[in-house]
Amino acid sequence: MNYQIEFRDVSVSYGKDVALRDINIQIPKNEIFGIIGPANAGKTTFLKAINRTLEFIHSAKTTGEVLFDGKNVKQIRNVYGLRRKVGVVFPLPVGLPMSIYENVAYAPRRSGIHDKQELEDIVVRCLQQAMLWDEVKDRLDMLGTKLSGGQQQRLTIARALSHSPDVLCLDEFSIAIDPVTTMKIEDVLVELKSEMTIILVTNLVQQARRLADQTAFFNKSELVEVGPTEKIFTSPDNQLTYDYVTGDFG
């Protein structure tokens, strides 16, 4: 079987600090893959290893193989193409200092789309998928940075979708978003599953339970357990996992 993402003995360290230790994981295509775990478990580093943005952290050192669609990401020569195939949403909302329209059109423009109609279609579609369209459709020329925190976060999601990624990485996307909108976005994520693989890092274990097909539990830079979500939440093999999902972790 050809996995969308596969980690083979991947370790990442920042100087002396180990962020990921011997991670082996397979993420099938068109699945929502949940990642849970306490702070400092290596969840964000895991995402950065996929699209090679770890390279911007000069102290980061990676060993092992990260495979994207069967190809070792280190051997992909066009790293920008790889990053276009991966949409990333970080916990803190970042509206770029340009209009809402340009925020979403940014990545398509960089990849060479200049047709006005085509760009507009992308912008509308992505803003709708991110549940932001109704709130901003009359003011697309407003600065993205002037939106509220929750709106900026949805703008970030729209941007991540704008380059039609094969993998969407959501790193605690719902921190700044109200519960009602969060539920709507969760519905969209389930729909999007047919088009892409979604990696959902979340602090809300119930969110992982609701959405994820498989869930992985990370703790102290290590992958403790991975399996079908129902199993992880009801009868995990590892006591740590059980403690974490039942809220007895400490």
Partner 1 sequence: MSSQPTNPFAETEEERRGKLVENLVGISTLLMTWLLIIPVLAIIIFLVYKAWPALSIEFLLDNPEKKMTAGGIWGPLIGTFFLVLVSLIIAAPIGILAGVYLNEFARDNWLTRFINLAVVNLAGVPSIVHGLFGLGAFVYFLGMDRCLLAASCTVAVMTLPVIITSTKEALASVPMSFRVACWNMGATKWQTIRTIVLPNSISGILTGVILQVARAAGETAPILFTGAMISSRIADSGWEAMVPYGLDDRFMALSYHLYIISTQWQNVPESFKFGTAAVMIGLVIAVNSISIAFRIYLRSRKKW
Residues that bind partner 1 (CB under 8 A): 51, 53, 56, 58, 80-84, 86-88, 90, 92, 94-98, 106-107, 110-111, 143, 145, 156, 159-160, 162-163
- Comparing CB distances to partner 1, the nearer of 84 and 209 is 84
In the complex, least distance from residue 94 CB atom to partner 1, rounded to whole angstroms = 5
Helix axes 116-129, 149-162, angle to 10 degrees: 130
- Comparing CB distances to partner 1, the nearer of 111 and 148 is 111
In the complex, least distance from residue 111 CB atom to partner 1, rounded to whole angstroms = 7
In the complex, least distance from residue 6 CB atom to partner 1, rounded to whole angstroms = 21
Angstrom distance (rounded) from CA 25 to CA 217? 11
- Comparing CB distances to partner 1, the nearer of 155 and 245 is 155
Phi-psi label, residue 93: left if phi above 0, alpha if psi -120 to 50, beta otherwise: beta
In the complex, least distance from residue 87 CB atom to partner 1, rounded to whole angstroms = 8
Both tokens assigned to 201: 């890092």
In the complex, least distance from residue 150 CB atom to partner 1, rounded to whole angstroms = 17
- Comparing CB distances to partner 1, the nearer of 3 and 106 is 106
DSSP string for residues in 19-85: EEEEEEEEE-TT-EEEEE--TTSSHHHHHHHHTTGGGGSTTEEEEEEEEETTEEGGG-S-HHHHHHT
- Comparing CB distances to partner 1, the nearer of 4 and 156 is 156
- Supply the DSSP symbol for 226: E
Find out whether 129 and 110 touch, Cβ atoms under 8 Å: no
